[in-house]
């Protein structure tokens, strides 16, 4: 299926390089969430639970029309995506007495992305159009935006407590972020067009098996996204 879609994109692109094209700018928001897998975060006694995070999407690109009912859209953009682990008790791996706290851990990354989308155009009238979209978006992680927010006091830690070698986030500064690779996400959604304005609602899931954040061990989850964007063509 992947090879078929990629071949379709390349064929459409080669046929339409010289065709009429339009450019666009787009802005929107995304809701992302870790959805599968098992956590290997070794720093926490309790795994807590994941909560969705909102982010931003900014894009510019070009639409290459193949015919009156379909088009190929290629762009470049910036986005922030991630999820939150709620109410984690962080245990310091130290030899002296310390106070413990419960934290929310906001796991978020910034990406450069290249969306390659095939759109079907179903005109409603001269001004309105509607149609499904599907394709891929290639995403390159460029910055770890992970942050912690202290929630409540969790008691006192003493060296004789069982820690399972869990490490306090605030004392670990070795980053594994460079282990993240360029990934692609599967993309499906719908667009509603009014003259040169387009509203998009889409859903996507990535092929990434593990994420590496600063100061945290690998998180073995896939991530899903819901995107809402507004385009202006010119």
More confident residue, 90 or 22: 22
Question: 40 pLDDT band (50/70/90 cuts)?
Answer: very low
Q: What's the predicted TM-score (pTM) here?
A: 0.78
Question: What mean pLDDT is predicted for residues 206-226?
Answer: 72
Query: What's the token pair of residue 63?
Result: 């639409």
pLDDT score recorded for residue 124: 87
- C-alpha–C-alpha distance, residues 93 and 96, integer Å: 9
Q: Strand, coil or helix: what is 5?
A: helix
Question: What mean pLDDT is predicted for residues 143-148?
Answer: 85
- C-alpha–C-alpha distance, residues 124 and 194, integer Å: 10
Does the pLDDT at position 35 exceed 80? no
Query: What's the token pair of residue 93?
Result: 């791996």
Distance between first and last Cα of the chain = 33
Q: Strand, coil or helix: what is 230?
A: strand
More confident residue, 107 or 231: 231
- C-alpha–C-alpha distance, residues 210 and 222, integer Å: 7
pLDDT score recorded for residue 2: 54
Does the pLDDT at position 121 exceed 50? yes
Query: What's the token pair of residue 232?
Result: 């202006």
Residue 218 contacts residue 40 (beta carbons within 8 Å): yes
- Strand-pair partners of 20: none
- C-alpha–C-alpha distance, residues 186 and 15, integer Å: 23
- C-alpha–C-alpha distance, residues 122 and 192, integer Å: 10
């Amino acid at each position: 299926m992947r090879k078929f879609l990629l071949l379709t994109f390349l064929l459409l692109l080669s046929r339409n390089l010289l065709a009429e094209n339009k450019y666009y700018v787009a802005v929107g928001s995304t809701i992302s969430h870790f959805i599968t897998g098992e956590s290997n975060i070794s720093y926490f006694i309790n795994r807590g639970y994941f909560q969705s995070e909102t982010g931003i999407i900014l894009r510019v690109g070009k639409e290459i029309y193949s015919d009156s009912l379909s088009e190929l859209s290629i762009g470049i953009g910036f986005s922030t995506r991630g999820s939150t682990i709620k109410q984690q008790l962080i245990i310091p791996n130290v030899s002296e007495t310390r106070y413990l706290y419960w934290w929310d851990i906001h796991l978020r990354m910034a990406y450069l992305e290249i969306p390659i989308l095939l759109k079907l155009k179903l005109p409603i009238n001269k001004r309105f159009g509607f149609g499904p979209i599907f394709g891929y978006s290639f995403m390159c992680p460029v910055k770890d935006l992970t942050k912690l927010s202290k929630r409540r006091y969790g008691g006192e830690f003493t060296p004789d407590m069982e820690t399972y070698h869990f490490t306090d986030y605030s004392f670990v500064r070795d980053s594994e972020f460079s282990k993240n690779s360029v990934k692609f996400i599967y993309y499906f959604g719908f667009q509603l067009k009014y003259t040169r304005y387009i509203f998009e609602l889409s859903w996507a899931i990535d092929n990434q098996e593990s994420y590496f954040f600063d100061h945290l061990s690998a998180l073995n989850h896939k991530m899903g996204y819901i995107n809402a964007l507004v385009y202006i063509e010119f």
